[in-house]
Amino acid sequence: MFYASYRSIAVTMLMLLTVVIRGQNPRPVPSVPADYQAWWTAGHLSRIDPSKVRHRDLVLYLEQLKTAGVRVEEVGRSLAGREIYQMEFGRGPLKVFLWSQMHGDEPTATSALVDLFHYWQSHRDDPRVAEMARQLTVRAVPMLNPDGAELFQRRNLQSIDINRDARRLVTPEGRLLKRLRDEWQPEIGFNLHNQNIRTAVGDSGRQAIMSLLAVAHDEARSDNPGRVRAKKVCSTLYRVLSGSIPGQIGRYDDTFNPRAFGDLISQWGTPVVLIETGGWFGRPEMDLVRLNFVALAWTLQELAQGGVDRADPAVYDSIPYNQSGGMVPLIIRGATVHNRFRDGRFEVPSYSADIGVNIEGPRATIQDLGDLGGFAALDEFDARGLHVTVARGTLRTGGEANLLFYKSARAKTIDWSVPDLETRFPPDATFRQGRWTGRESLQKADPVRQ
Ligand SMILES: [Zn+2]
C-alpha cells in the first residue's frame, strides 16, 4: 500500500512536470483502490445502516445528490406508488446500467450507489473522474423494490419475486426495469444483491463475503462477446476485492434461468454481472458498503481506461464456486446436553453433543445436533465441561435455540425436569434470540475446561 501511494505520488509529479514542460492538459492520474477506500472512510454520504434505510431515507440522500448537481429523475412508481429514481453521471459512449435492491431485504448496494455518485460528482474535476465521464455514461436505479424495502422483505407487495418475473412481467417494478433496459440498450449491466450469510467459498470453510457471476445468456452457458466482457468485469472485481478479502470471494452457479432478469437481460443484449454481497462475520454493515463502493468505483474506472478489456476472463473462471448453506452460524462444541425429553416416567439421560444453531435476525433455531466435526462455523463456542438445556420444552432440531448454560460444578444440584428451570436454577450464561449473556465469564471461569 505504501509503495502504491508512493508510486501514485511519483506518477502525479511526473505528469505535472509533463504539463509544465509541454503546456498540455494532464492525462488521468492512475489511482489505487486504497485511494477510494480512504475517500469513502472520510467522505461517504450514506450514514444509516443499509438494513435501516427506507424509501424516505433514500429520497433524502437523493435530494443531497441533486443539490450537488447529480442528474436524478423519477422513472417510475412501485405498486404502492413509491417513486423509483434513476441517477446519471458522465456523457461517454459506453453505457453502463446498475440497479440495486430488487429484493427489498438486500440493501447494501443502494447505499454504495449513493456514495458512488456523490464521489463522482464531488470529484468531477479530478482528471481520472473527468476521463471516466468522457468514456462512460452511468445510470443507476437504487432501490428498485421500495415497497419490499419498507417491509424489509424480499418480494414486492404482490408477494412476487421480481427477479423471477422477467418473462411474465406481472410486477410494475419488473416492467420498469425492462423498459429502462430496452429504451437505453446499455453495453453492460450490474445486478446488485445480498446473499445468505451462511454462504461458503467452495469447501474452504470460509465465509463468502462477496460472490460474482458473469450471467449466462443461453442454456449452453456459451461465451459470446457479451459474456466475455462480463467475465472480464468479474476478473477486475475479483482482483480489487482480493486486496481486502482474499480467499473470501466466491463464484455463483451459472445455470441459465429463463425467469430471472440477469439471464434475460443478457439474452436481450446487455451482458450482466451479478454481485452478491454476503455477510461479513463480526463486522458492521457499513464495512460492506465500503467494500461495494471501492469495488464498483475501481472497476468502472478500469472500464473507462481500458483495464477491463485487457483483463483475463480465465481469472473469473478459476474462482471457486460458492456453497450456499456451507457455514453454520454458531456451533457449540462438546456440551453435556440435557434435552429434557420426557415420555411418562422416562427421561432422556444427559449426553455429549455439538449443537449447530441457525441465526436469522432475532430468531435462532437448533439446526443440528451430534458430531459436527468438519462443519465450518461463523462462530464457535467451546462448551466442554458445561451443561446445556433449553429454557422451555425440549432441545430438538428445528426448535427455538433459547439455551441455558450451567457450570459443571452445579450440574448435580439441578433438577432438570422442573418446568420453571430458569427461575429455580438461574443459569451461568444464556443464549437467547441470537444474543449471549455471560458468555465471557463462562469461558474464563470454568475450572473443568480442558
Ligand atoms: Zn437477491
Residue at 339 is within a domain = yes
Looking at 280, 300, 323, the residue that finishes a domain is 323
Q: Who wins on pLDDT, 440 or 446? A: 440
Confidence of residue 30 (pLDDT cuts 50, 70, 90): low
**For residue 420, how far is its CA from the centre of ligand 1 (angstroms)?**
43
Residue 151 sits in the same domain as residue 283: yes
Could you report the per-residue pLDDT of 332-368, keeping only the tens digit for each?
999 999 999 989 889 999 999 999 999 987 899 999 9
Residue 311 sits in the same domain as residue 415: no
Residue at 286 is within a domain = yes
Mean pLDDT value across residues 437-445 = 78
Residue 114 sits in the same domain as residue 69: yes
Confidence of residue 256 (pLDDT cuts 50, 70, 90): very high
pLDDT of residue 362: 81
Confidence of residue 5 (pLDDT cuts 50, 70, 90): low
Looking at 299, 323, 347, the residue that finishes a domain is 323
pLDDT of residue 21: 44
Residue 223, classified by CB atoms within 10 Å of its CB into exposed (0-12), middle (13-18) or buried (19+), is middle
Give percent of the chain above pLDDT 90.
Answer: 86
Mean pLDDT value across residues 5-12 = 55
Residue at 52 is within a domain = yes
**For residue 103, how far is its CA from the centre of ligand 1 (angstroms)?**
5
CA atoms within 13 A on the CB side of 251: 18
pLDDT of residue 361: 78
Could you report the per-residue pLDDT of 124-134, keeping only the tens digit for each?
999 999 999 99
Mean pLDDT value across residues 385-405 = 95
pLDDT of residue 446: 47
Residue at 118 is within a domain = yes
Q: Is the predicted pLDDT of residue 407 greater than 90, yes or no?
A: yes
Domain of residue 402, CATH code: 2.30.40.10
pLDDT of residue 449: 39
Looking at 275, 300, 323, the residue that finishes a domain is 323
Mean pLDDT value across residues 295-305 = 96
Confidence of residue 426 (pLDDT cuts 50, 70, 90): very high
Q: Which residue has the cell 473469473?
A: 316
Confidence of residue 182 (pLDDT cuts 50, 70, 90): very high
pLDDT of residue 360: 85
Q: Is the predicted pLDDT of residue 164 greater than 80, yes or no?
A: yes
pLDDT of residue 441: 82
Are 230 and 273 contacting, i.e. CB atoms less than 8 angstroms apart?
A: yes
Beta bridge partners of 76: 84
Residue at 172 is within a domain = yes
Tell me the pTM: 0.88
Confidence of residue 444 (pLDDT cuts 50, 70, 90): low
Residue 47 sits in the same domain as residue 187: yes
Lowest mean pLDDT among 78-92, 145-159, 175-189, 360-374: 360-374
**CB-CB neighbours of 197 under 10 Å:** 17
Could you report the per-residue pLDDT of 315-335, keeping only the tens digit for each?
999 999 999 889 999 999 999
Mean pLDDT value across residues 257-264 = 96
Q: Is the predicted pLDDT of residue 209 greater than 80, yes or no?
A: yes
Residue at 207 is within a domain = yes
- Domain with 416, as residue range(s), is 327-445
Residues with CB under 5 A from ligand 1 (ion): 103, 106, 193
Phi, psi of 351 (to 5 degrees): -150, 165
**For residue 106, how far is its CA from the centre of ligand 1 (angstroms)?**
6
Give percent of the chain above pLDDT 70.
Answer: 92
Closest of 238, 237, 293, 294 to residue 34, by C-alpha: 294
DSSP state of 417: T
Residue 408 sits in the same domain as residue 432: yes
Q: Who wins on pLDDT, 21 or 181? A: 181
**For residue 360, how far is its CA from the centre of ligand 1 (angstroms)?**
16
**For residue 15, how far is its CA from the centre of ligand 1 (angstroms)?**
44
Residue 295 sits in the same domain as residue 400: no
Are 155 and 140 contacting, i.e. CB atoms less than 8 angstroms apart?
A: no
pLDDT of residue 416: 93
pLDDT of residue 107: 98
DSSP string, 43-97: H-S--S-GGG--HHHHHHHHHHHHHHT-EEEEEEE-TT--EEEEEEE---SEEEE
Mean pLDDT value across residues 42-65 = 97
**For residue 13, how far is its CA from the centre of ligand 1 (angstroms)?**
45
**For residue 231, how far is its CA from the centre of ligand 1 (angstroms)?**
20
Could you report the per-residue pLDDT of 106-149, keeping only the tens digit for each?
999 999 999 999 999 999 999 999 999 999 999 999 999 999 99
* Cα dihedral sign, 163-169-175-177: positive
**For residue 323, how far is its CA from the centre of ligand 1 (angstroms)?**
16
* Cα dihedral sign, 108-111-113-119: negative
CA-CA distance, 155 to 167, in Å (whole number)?
16
**CB-CB neighbours of 94 under 10 Å:** 17
Residue at 450 is within a domain = no
Residue 302 sits in the same domain as residue 352: no
Residue 220 sits in the same domain as residue 269: yes
pLDDT of residue 28: 57
**For residue 28, how far is its CA from the centre of ligand 1 (angstroms)?**
36
Residue at 15 is within a domain = yes
pLDDT of residue 448: 44
Residue 158 sits in the same domain as residue 294: yes
**Cell of residue 137, nine digits:** 455514461
Mean pLDDT value across residues 297-309 = 96
Residue 143 sits in the same domain as residue 290: yes
Residue 100 sits in the same domain as residue 113: yes
Closest of 414, 417, 440 to residue 427, by C-alpha: 414
* Structural domain count, the chain: 3
Domain of residue 118, CATH code: 3.40.630.10
Residue 157 sits in the same domain as residue 46: yes
Tell me what the pLDDT averaged over the chain comes to: 92
**For residue 195, how far is its CA from the centre of ligand 1 (angstroms)?**
7
**For residue 18, how far is its CA from the centre of ligand 1 (angstroms)?**
48
Q: Is the predicted pLDDT of residue 161 greater than 50, yes or no?
A: yes
**For residue 194, how far is its CA from the centre of ligand 1 (angstroms)?**
6
Confidence of residue 12 (pLDDT cuts 50, 70, 90): low
pLDDT of residue 7: 55
Q: Which residues of 369-383 are buried (b: 16+ CB within 10 A; e: fewer)?
A: beebeebbbbeebeb
**For residue 371, how far is its CA from the centre of ligand 1 (angstroms)?**
33
**For residue 426, how far is its CA from the centre of ligand 1 (angstroms)?**
42
